[in-house]
Structure 1
Amino acid sequence: MLATMRECKNCIGSDVDVDQARGNAVCMGCGLVLEDNIIVSEVEFVEGGRGGSHAVGQFVSSEGGAKMPSFGNAPLFGIGRESRAQTVQRAKQHISNLGSQLQMNQYCLDMALNFYKMALNKQLTRGRRSSNVIAACIYIVCRTEGTPHMLLDLSDLLQVNSLLPPTFP
Protein backbone atom coordinates (compact mmCIF):
# COMPACT_ATOMS: atom_id res chain seq x y z
CA MET A 1 0.00 0.00 0.00
CA LEU A 2 1.30 3.38 -0.89
CA ALA A 3 0.07 6.95 -1.04
CA THR A 4 0.16 8.68 -4.39
CA MET A 5 -0.09 12.26 -5.55
CA ARG A 6 -3.76 11.85 -6.52
CA GLU A 7 -6.35 14.29 -5.27
CA CYS A 8 -9.77 13.39 -3.89
CA LYS A 9 -12.68 15.04 -5.72
CA ASN A 10 -14.76 14.97 -2.56
CA CYS A 11 -12.57 16.52 0.15
CA ILE A 12 -9.69 17.79 -2.03
CA GLY A 13 -7.34 15.71 0.12
CA SER A 14 -4.15 14.28 -1.29
CA ASP A 15 -3.76 11.34 1.12
CA VAL A 16 -4.86 8.55 -1.22
CA ASP A 17 -4.13 4.91 -0.38
CA VAL A 18 -3.55 2.76 -3.47
CA ASP A 19 -3.58 -0.98 -2.86
CA GLN A 20 -2.51 -2.78 -6.03
CA ALA A 21 -3.19 -6.20 -4.52
CA ARG A 22 -6.84 -5.37 -3.89
CA GLY A 23 -7.15 -3.12 -6.92
CA ASN A 24 -8.48 0.00 -5.22
CA ALA A 25 -7.61 3.60 -4.41
CA VAL A 26 -9.25 5.15 -1.34
CA CYS A 27 -9.08 8.67 0.06
CA MET A 28 -7.87 8.37 3.62
CA GLY A 29 -9.45 11.71 4.53
CA CYS A 30 -13.11 11.01 3.72
CA GLY A 31 -13.19 7.31 2.77
CA LEU A 32 -14.30 7.87 -0.82
CA VAL A 33 -13.32 4.97 -3.08
CA LEU A 34 -11.64 6.75 -5.98
CA GLU A 35 -10.91 3.61 -8.00
CA ASP A 36 -11.88 0.03 -7.44
CA ASN A 37 -10.99 -1.52 -10.77
CA ILE A 38 -7.26 -0.96 -11.02
CA ILE A 39 -6.12 -3.52 -13.55
CA VAL A 40 -2.55 -4.74 -13.68
CA SER A 41 -1.15 -5.68 -17.08
CA GLU A 42 1.28 -8.31 -15.78
CA VAL A 43 0.38 -11.97 -15.58
CA GLU A 44 2.43 -14.31 -13.41
CA PHE A 45 2.38 -18.09 -13.48
CA VAL A 46 3.67 -20.56 -10.90
CA GLU A 47 4.38 -24.22 -11.28
CA GLY A 48 2.11 -26.57 -9.40
CA GLY A 49 2.97 -29.82 -7.63
CA ARG A 50 2.49 -32.10 -10.65
CA GLY A 51 4.30 -29.95 -13.20
CA GLY A 52 1.21 -27.95 -14.16
CA SER A 53 1.04 -24.20 -13.91
CA HIS A 54 -1.62 -21.71 -12.92
CA ALA A 55 -2.05 -17.95 -12.96
CA VAL A 56 -1.27 -16.07 -9.75
CA GLY A 57 -3.05 -12.94 -8.65
CA GLN A 58 -6.36 -11.59 -7.57
CA PHE A 59 -9.35 -11.14 -9.82
CA VAL A 60 -10.46 -7.52 -9.63
CA SER A 61 -14.16 -7.35 -10.34
CA SER A 62 -16.25 -4.51 -11.61
CA GLU A 63 -19.49 -3.73 -9.80
CA GLY A 64 -21.72 -4.78 -12.69
CA GLY A 65 -22.70 -8.20 -13.88
CA ALA A 66 -22.47 -11.59 -12.26
CA LYS A 67 -20.42 -13.37 -14.92
CA MET A 68 -18.03 -15.99 -13.62
CA PRO A 69 -14.44 -14.76 -13.76
CA SER A 70 -12.23 -16.46 -16.30
CA PHE A 71 -8.68 -16.45 -17.59
CA GLY A 72 -8.73 -17.08 -21.32
CA ASN A 73 -11.23 -19.86 -21.91
CA ALA A 74 -10.77 -21.48 -18.50
CA PRO A 75 -13.11 -20.37 -15.69
CA LEU A 76 -11.56 -19.51 -12.34
CA PHE A 77 -13.31 -21.13 -9.41
CA GLY A 78 -13.21 -20.31 -5.71
CA ILE A 79 -12.48 -16.61 -6.09
CA GLY A 80 -15.76 -15.45 -4.51
CA ARG A 81 -16.65 -12.69 -6.97
CA GLU A 82 -20.33 -13.55 -6.98
CA SER A 83 -20.44 -13.86 -3.20
CA ARG A 84 -18.69 -10.51 -2.76
CA ALA A 85 -21.00 -8.84 -5.29
CA GLN A 86 -24.02 -10.24 -3.45
CA THR A 87 -22.63 -9.04 -0.11
CA VAL A 88 -22.10 -5.53 -1.44
CA GLN A 89 -25.54 -5.53 -3.07
CA ARG A 90 -27.21 -6.61 0.20
CA ALA A 91 -25.26 -3.95 2.09
CA LYS A 92 -26.31 -1.31 -0.46
CA GLN A 93 -29.96 -2.31 0.00
CA HIS A 94 -29.67 -2.29 3.81
CA ILE A 95 -27.91 1.11 3.75
CA SER A 96 -30.64 2.44 1.47
CA ASN A 97 -33.38 1.16 3.81
CA LEU A 98 -31.77 2.60 6.95
CA GLY A 99 -30.90 5.84 5.17
CA SER A 100 -34.44 6.38 3.95
CA GLN A 101 -35.76 5.87 7.48
CA LEU A 102 -33.26 8.47 8.69
CA GLN A 103 -34.05 10.73 5.70
CA MET A 104 -30.41 10.88 4.62
CA ASN A 105 -29.42 12.14 1.17
CA GLN A 106 -27.95 9.93 -1.55
CA TYR A 107 -24.46 11.41 -1.14
CA CYS A 108 -24.33 10.22 2.49
CA LEU A 109 -25.66 6.79 1.52
CA ASP A 110 -23.00 6.43 -1.18
CA MET A 111 -20.31 7.44 1.31
CA ALA A 112 -21.63 4.86 3.82
CA LEU A 113 -21.42 2.19 1.10
CA ASN A 114 -17.82 3.25 0.42
CA PHE A 115 -16.98 2.87 4.11
CA TYR A 116 -18.61 -0.57 4.03
CA LYS A 117 -16.49 -1.56 1.02
CA MET A 118 -13.38 -0.38 2.87
CA ALA A 119 -14.35 -2.49 5.89
CA LEU A 120 -15.01 -5.45 3.61
CA ASN A 121 -11.64 -5.03 1.86
CA LYS A 122 -9.82 -4.86 5.19
CA GLN A 123 -11.78 -7.93 6.40
CA LEU A 124 -13.30 -5.97 9.29
CA THR A 125 -16.72 -7.52 8.65
CA ARG A 126 -15.73 -11.07 9.58
CA GLY A 127 -17.35 -12.31 12.76
CA ARG A 128 -19.60 -9.24 13.02
CA ARG A 129 -23.26 -8.82 12.25
CA SER A 130 -23.63 -7.10 8.91
CA SER A 131 -26.39 -4.86 10.28
CA ASN A 132 -24.00 -3.58 12.97
CA VAL A 133 -21.19 -2.95 10.48
CA ILE A 134 -23.63 -1.12 8.18
CA ALA A 135 -24.93 0.95 11.08
CA ALA A 136 -21.34 1.82 12.04
CA CYS A 137 -20.65 2.95 8.47
CA ILE A 138 -23.76 5.14 8.47
CA TYR A 139 -22.79 6.54 11.86
CA ILE A 140 -19.29 7.42 10.58
CA VAL A 141 -20.93 9.39 7.77
CA CYS A 142 -23.26 11.11 10.24
CA ARG A 143 -20.28 12.26 12.30
CA THR A 144 -18.06 13.27 9.37
CA GLU A 145 -20.85 15.09 7.53
CA GLY A 146 -22.38 16.63 10.67
CA THR A 147 -25.90 15.28 10.15
CA PRO A 148 -28.32 15.60 13.09
CA HIS A 149 -28.46 11.83 13.67
CA MET A 150 -27.28 10.20 16.87
CA LEU A 151 -26.16 6.69 17.71
CA LEU A 152 -29.44 6.31 19.57
CA ASP A 153 -31.34 6.80 16.29
CA LEU A 154 -29.51 3.89 14.70
CA SER A 155 -29.87 1.67 17.75
CA ASP A 156 -33.63 2.38 17.75
CA LEU A 157 -33.91 1.37 14.09
CA LEU A 158 -31.92 -1.81 14.64
CA GLN A 159 -33.58 -2.47 18.01
CA VAL A 160 -30.20 -2.81 19.69
CA ASN A 161 -29.29 -1.36 23.07
CA SER A 162 -26.36 0.96 22.37
CA LEU A 163 -25.59 1.29 26.08
CA LEU A 164 -24.59 -2.35 26.53
CA PRO A 165 -20.90 -3.18 26.14
CA PRO A 166 -20.16 -5.28 23.02
CA THR A 167 -19.81 -9.03 23.42
CA PHE A 168 -17.00 -10.76 21.60
CA PRO A 169 -17.23 -14.31 20.27
Structure 2
Amino acid sequence: MATRSSCKNCGSFDLEIDPCRGDTVCTICGIVLEDSVIVSEVQFEENAHGGSTAIGQFVPNDSKGGNMTIIGSFTYGLQKESKEITIQKAKSELSRMCQLLRINQHCLETALTFYKMALNRHLTKGRRSSLVCAACLYIACRLEKTPHLLIDFSDVLQVDPFTLGRTFTSITQDLYITLPLVGKFHI
Protein backbone atom coordinates (compact mmCIF):
# COMPACT_ATOMS: atom_id res chain seq x y z
CA MET A 1 0.00 0.00 0.00
CA ALA A 2 1.57 3.28 -1.16
CA THR A 3 1.43 6.34 1.08
CA ARG A 4 0.54 9.72 -0.38
CA SER A 5 3.01 12.52 0.08
CA SER A 6 1.90 15.83 1.50
CA CYS A 7 3.30 19.35 1.31
CA LYS A 8 5.72 20.18 4.10
CA ASN A 9 4.58 23.81 4.00
CA CYS A 10 0.76 23.67 3.97
CA GLY A 11 -0.02 19.94 4.40
CA SER A 12 -1.90 19.67 1.10
CA PHE A 13 -2.00 16.40 -0.82
CA ASP A 14 -2.52 18.25 -4.13
CA LEU A 15 1.00 17.81 -5.52
CA GLU A 16 2.06 18.07 -9.15
CA ILE A 17 4.79 15.54 -9.95
CA ASP A 18 6.53 16.06 -13.27
CA PRO A 19 9.07 13.32 -14.07
CA CYS A 20 10.14 15.16 -17.24
CA ARG A 21 11.29 18.17 -15.23
CA GLY A 22 12.27 16.08 -12.23
CA ASP A 23 10.32 18.11 -9.70
CA THR A 24 7.35 17.99 -7.34
CA VAL A 25 5.38 21.20 -6.68
CA CYS A 26 2.47 21.86 -4.31
CA THR A 27 -0.36 23.31 -6.39
CA ILE A 28 -1.87 25.04 -3.34
CA CYS A 29 1.05 27.09 -1.97
CA GLY A 30 3.50 26.73 -4.90
CA ILE A 31 6.46 25.44 -2.89
CA VAL A 32 8.89 23.19 -4.75
CA LEU A 33 9.25 19.97 -2.74
CA GLU A 34 11.71 18.16 -5.05
CA ASP A 35 13.91 19.73 -7.67
CA SER A 36 16.59 18.57 -10.11
CA VAL A 37 16.00 14.88 -9.63
CA ILE A 38 17.65 14.30 -13.01
CA VAL A 39 21.44 14.07 -12.75
CA SER A 40 23.50 15.25 -15.68
CA GLU A 41 27.19 15.41 -16.47
CA VAL A 42 29.06 17.79 -18.72
CA GLN A 43 32.19 16.85 -20.64
CA PHE A 44 34.33 19.28 -22.60
CA GLU A 45 36.78 18.87 -25.46
CA GLU A 46 39.41 21.27 -26.74
CA ASN A 47 39.03 22.45 -30.32
CA ALA A 48 41.79 23.37 -32.79
CA HIS A 49 41.78 27.02 -31.71
CA GLY A 50 42.30 26.24 -28.02
CA GLY A 51 38.66 26.88 -27.03
CA SER A 52 36.42 24.45 -25.19
CA THR A 53 33.17 22.97 -26.45
CA ALA A 54 30.65 20.83 -24.62
CA ILE A 55 30.15 17.25 -25.75
CA GLY A 56 26.53 16.18 -25.99
CA GLN A 57 23.48 18.29 -25.37
CA PHE A 58 22.74 20.64 -22.51
CA VAL A 59 19.46 19.68 -20.77
CA PRO A 60 18.09 22.20 -18.24
CA ASN A 61 16.44 21.00 -15.01
CA ASP A 62 12.94 21.87 -16.23
CA SER A 63 13.44 20.62 -19.78
CA LYS A 64 10.52 19.09 -21.63
CA GLY A 65 12.38 18.80 -24.90
CA GLY A 66 11.12 22.15 -26.19
CA ASN A 67 12.80 24.58 -28.55
CA MET A 68 16.41 25.33 -27.70
CA THR A 69 18.19 28.57 -28.47
CA ILE A 70 21.88 29.28 -28.18
CA ILE A 71 23.00 32.00 -25.77
CA GLY A 72 26.32 33.28 -24.55
CA SER A 73 29.60 32.28 -26.14
CA PHE A 74 29.47 29.70 -28.90
CA THR A 75 32.69 28.16 -27.64
CA TYR A 76 30.97 26.90 -24.50
CA GLY A 77 27.83 25.68 -26.27
CA LEU A 78 25.38 27.05 -23.67
CA GLN A 79 21.73 26.66 -24.61
CA LYS A 80 18.51 27.90 -23.06
CA GLU A 81 14.95 26.73 -23.62
CA SER A 82 12.24 29.09 -24.76
CA LYS A 83 10.43 28.49 -21.45
CA GLU A 84 13.44 29.82 -19.56
CA ILE A 85 13.54 32.86 -21.83
CA THR A 86 9.84 33.46 -21.15
CA ILE A 87 10.47 33.28 -17.40
CA GLN A 88 13.40 35.72 -17.70
CA LYS A 89 11.22 38.19 -19.61
CA ALA A 90 8.49 37.83 -16.99
CA LYS A 91 11.02 38.46 -14.21
CA SER A 92 12.16 41.64 -15.98
CA GLU A 93 8.56 42.82 -16.35
CA LEU A 94 7.83 42.02 -12.69
CA SER A 95 10.97 43.89 -11.61
CA ARG A 96 9.92 46.92 -13.64
CA MET A 97 6.46 46.93 -12.04
CA CYS A 98 7.94 46.46 -8.56
CA GLN A 99 10.19 49.47 -9.04
CA LEU A 100 7.35 51.66 -10.28
CA LEU A 101 5.00 50.62 -7.47
CA ARG A 102 7.69 50.28 -4.77
CA ILE A 103 6.95 46.64 -4.05
CA ASN A 104 9.47 44.57 -2.08
CA GLN A 105 11.64 41.70 -3.35
CA HIS A 106 9.65 39.05 -1.45
CA CYS A 107 6.48 39.94 -3.39
CA LEU A 108 8.46 39.83 -6.64
CA GLU A 109 9.71 36.31 -5.88
CA THR A 110 6.23 35.15 -4.86
CA ALA A 111 4.77 36.65 -8.05
CA LEU A 112 7.40 34.88 -10.14
CA THR A 113 6.43 31.57 -8.50
CA PHE A 114 2.79 32.20 -9.41
CA TYR A 115 3.84 33.10 -12.96
CA LYS A 116 5.74 29.81 -13.28
CA MET A 117 2.70 27.92 -12.00
CA ALA A 118 0.49 29.71 -14.55
CA LEU A 119 3.00 28.99 -17.30
CA ASN A 120 3.17 25.28 -16.40
CA ARG A 121 -0.64 25.05 -16.54
CA HIS A 122 -0.73 26.92 -19.88
CA LEU A 123 -2.69 29.83 -18.38
CA THR A 124 -0.46 32.34 -20.17
CA LYS A 125 -1.52 31.24 -23.67
CA GLY A 126 -3.63 33.83 -25.41
CA ARG A 127 -2.91 36.46 -22.76
CA ARG A 128 -0.53 39.39 -22.82
CA SER A 129 2.49 38.60 -20.67
CA SER A 130 2.29 41.98 -18.94
CA LEU A 131 -1.30 41.24 -17.83
CA VAL A 132 -0.33 37.85 -16.42
CA CYS A 133 2.68 39.38 -14.63
CA ALA A 134 0.54 42.15 -13.15
CA ALA A 135 -2.10 39.65 -12.02
CA CYS A 136 0.54 37.44 -10.37
CA LEU A 137 2.12 40.44 -8.66
CA TYR A 138 -1.28 41.61 -7.44
CA ILE A 139 -1.93 38.11 -6.02
CA ALA A 140 1.39 38.30 -4.15
CA CYS A 141 0.54 41.78 -2.84
CA ARG A 142 -2.87 40.62 -1.63
CA LEU A 143 -1.28 37.67 0.18
CA GLU A 144 1.27 39.97 1.80
CA LYS A 145 -1.47 42.52 2.57
CA THR A 146 0.32 45.45 0.95
CA PRO A 147 -1.79 48.56 0.27
CA HIS A 148 -1.65 48.13 -3.53
CA LEU A 149 -4.91 47.99 -5.46
CA LEU A 150 -5.70 46.48 -8.85
CA ILE A 151 -6.14 49.96 -10.30
CA ASP A 152 -2.50 50.74 -9.39
CA PHE A 153 -1.39 47.92 -11.67
CA SER A 154 -3.77 48.94 -14.46
CA ASP A 155 -2.36 52.49 -14.26
CA VAL A 156 1.21 51.22 -14.63
CA LEU A 157 0.24 49.08 -17.64
CA GLN A 158 -2.14 51.68 -19.08
CA VAL A 159 -4.87 49.04 -19.50
CA ASP A 160 -8.53 48.90 -18.56
CA PRO A 161 -8.85 47.69 -14.92
CA PHE A 162 -11.65 45.31 -15.95
CA THR A 163 -9.35 43.58 -18.48
CA LEU A 164 -6.71 43.12 -15.80
CA GLY A 165 -9.41 42.05 -13.34
CA ARG A 166 -10.59 39.27 -15.68
CA THR A 167 -7.02 37.98 -16.02
CA PHE A 168 -6.52 38.17 -12.24
CA THR A 169 -9.81 36.35 -11.53
CA SER A 170 -9.11 33.64 -14.09
CA ILE A 171 -5.61 32.93 -12.75
CA THR A 172 -6.70 32.85 -9.09
CA GLN A 173 -9.53 30.45 -9.94
CA ASP A 174 -7.44 28.18 -12.18
CA LEU A 175 -4.61 28.00 -9.60
CA TYR A 176 -7.09 27.53 -6.72
CA ILE A 177 -5.72 30.52 -4.81
CA THR A 178 -7.83 31.87 -1.96
CA LEU A 179 -6.99 35.47 -1.17
CA PRO A 180 -7.80 37.57 1.89
CA LEU A 181 -10.47 40.19 1.35
CA VAL A 182 -9.41 43.78 0.85
CA GLY A 183 -10.33 45.58 4.09
CA LYS A 184 -10.78 49.19 4.99
CA PHE A 185 -7.63 51.21 5.58
CA HIS A 186 -7.49 53.38 8.68
CA ILE A 187 -5.72 56.67 8.23
TM-score for both structures, normalised by structure 1: 0.66
**Partners of 2:66 and 2:150 in 1: CA distance:** 38
- 1:140 is displaced (CA, Å) by 0.8
Q: After the TM superposition, which segments of 4 or more aligned residues of structure 1 sit over 4 Å from their partners? A: 76-81, 164-167
- 1:34 is displaced (CA, Å) by 4.0
Verify the 8 A CA contact 2:7 2:33 in the aligned structure 1. no
**Partners of 2:146 and 2:5 in 1: CA distance:** 31
| 1:20 aligned partner, one-letter code | D
Residue aligned with 1:163, SS: helix
**Partners of 1:60 and 1:77 in 2: CA distance:** 8
Aligned residues with identical type, % of pairs: 47
Structure 1 residues 120 and 36, CA, compared in 2 at 3 Å: closer, same or farther? farther
Match of 2:178 in 1: none
Size of the aligned set, in residue pairs, is: 134
TM-score for both structures, normalised by structure 2: 0.60
Residue aligned with 2:162, SS: coil
The answer to whether residue 5 in structure 2 is matched with residue 4 in structure 1 is yes
Match of 1:92 in 2: 91
- 1:78 is displaced (CA, Å) by 4.6
Structure 1 unaligned spans of 5+:
41-58, 64-68, 70-75
- 1:5 is displaced (CA, Å) by 2.8
Match of 2:31 in 1: 32
| 1:19 aligned partner, one-letter code | I
Q: CA RMSD in A?
A: 3.2
Alignment of 1:11-22 (within 5 A): 13-15=10-12, 17-21=15-19, 22=21
Structure 2 unaligned spans of 5+:
40-57, 69-79, 168-187
Which structure has the greater CA radius of gyration?
Answer: 2
